[in-house]
Amino acid sequence: MRSTYIWAVTIAILLIAWLLSGQINSAPPVIDPSIAEQNRIKEEIGNDAIPTRVRAERIRAVEKIRYTNIRGKTQNKRTVNARAEIVGRIVERRVERGDVVAANDVLCELSIEDRQTALVEAQELVSQARIDYQGALQLEARGFNSDSAIAATKARLASAAAQLKRRQLDVEKILVRAPFAGVVEDVHVEIGDYVNPGQGCATIVDLNPMLMVGRVSEKDVLDLRLGELATGVLADGRTVEGPVTFVGQQSNPQTRTYAVEIQLDNADGALRSGITAEIKIPVDRVLAQKISPALFALDDLGAIGVRVLDNDNIVHFHNIEIISESADGVWVTGLPNETTVITVGQEMVVAGERVDPDLRRRLTSSVAQASNADT
């Protein structure tokens, strides 16, 4: 019994000693440093690290015209199908497809039939009615005629004159004339055809001035101004320009876009309707820099931008907007007016990092500024 107590006491002493040994050898608790202390430690570590070597270039913004680019086409201003106004047989067609006509040129001629006879008859009725009216006035002056008789003869004269006018118009309408100067696009009748009122004789297109039409988004339509000189590059490579003459006030329900028209001089008839055109319309003047598209990077949201340096050689990321493109670079906005862009090694650094730049300077001269502004 006594030996059992001795073993129990011994085991208890050993357990206590083992527990106390853990407390004696344990390290003191670690207290997390404050945020400020953590930032200081990181800064010290960053200062001690070797900065990444990059190549950078200092560039300055110049004034640049910002354009809205739309796809459109040329379109003639007017197209009219000259139609007959009376019934009759075609006795002469004076034009063929492709002919150039002036305003009021005769396109087709209808048979006169009995219209000339009806015109002579109407002229004689007017002469008779005029004699009757003058005779009635003479009788009234002598006191032998009443006011009602005078009114009746005057009415007959007016009716005869109206009938004469109708007969004159019938004779004039045997000639179908061009409503304006243009080109004959198509003919619809042949000699011997019998036509009714409203039947077409020939289609005339007005090619001068020519229009260049397209549609702009609701985002850009507010920046458009009438009279601005727009430029168009046609499918065949020709460049044309003219003022903006119309901006639509109502959008297309499906595309939410607005119609735009640019008027082009086509006195020489070199432009045809329906040619595809890439249209550039100036909307604003901004300060922009030209950089290589190879410098573009994406932020966490997928927006495009470039990495630049501040005066302390710290990397920053700036989002940009592309204004226009040229053969040797891209014009962008969104950067400081004078900034240092990382040109080599930008993919090896991140925002907030200090770098060791090999700096080059490219400040655009005033002559280049004026030249680039028109690019």
The full set of domains in the chain, from first to last, is 47-65+286-373 (2.40.420.20), 68-77+207-284 (2.40.30.170), 81-202 (2.40.50.100)
Q: What is the pLDDT of residue 143?
A: 66
This model's pTM is above 0.85: no
Decide which of 33 and 119 is more confident.
119
CA distance 80 to 181: 11
Question: Is residue 135 scored above 90 in pLDDT?
Answer: no
DSSP per position, 40-63: HHHHHHHHHSPPEEEEEEEEE-EE
- The pLDDT, as a whole number, for residue 188 is 92
pLDDT at residue number 134: 81
> What confidence tens digit (pLDDT) does each residue in 146-190 have?
767 777 787 888 888 888 888 888 888 888 999 999 999 999 999
Task: Give residue 48's pLDDT.
Answer: 47
User: What confidence tier does 347 reach under pLDDT thresholds 50, 70, 90?
Assistant: confident
Place of tokens 């502004």: 373
CA distance 241 to 227: 12
Each as own residue / partner, the long-range contacts of residues 333-338 (CB below 8 Å, 24 or more positions apart, any chain) are: 333/66, 333/286, 333/287, 333/288, 333/289, 334/305, 335/61, 335/289, 335/306, 335/308, 336/61, 336/308, 337/60, 337/61, 337/287, 338/58, 338/59, 338/60, 338/61, 338/363
Name the more confident of 51 and 100: 100
> What percent of the chain is predicted at pLDDT more than 90?
27
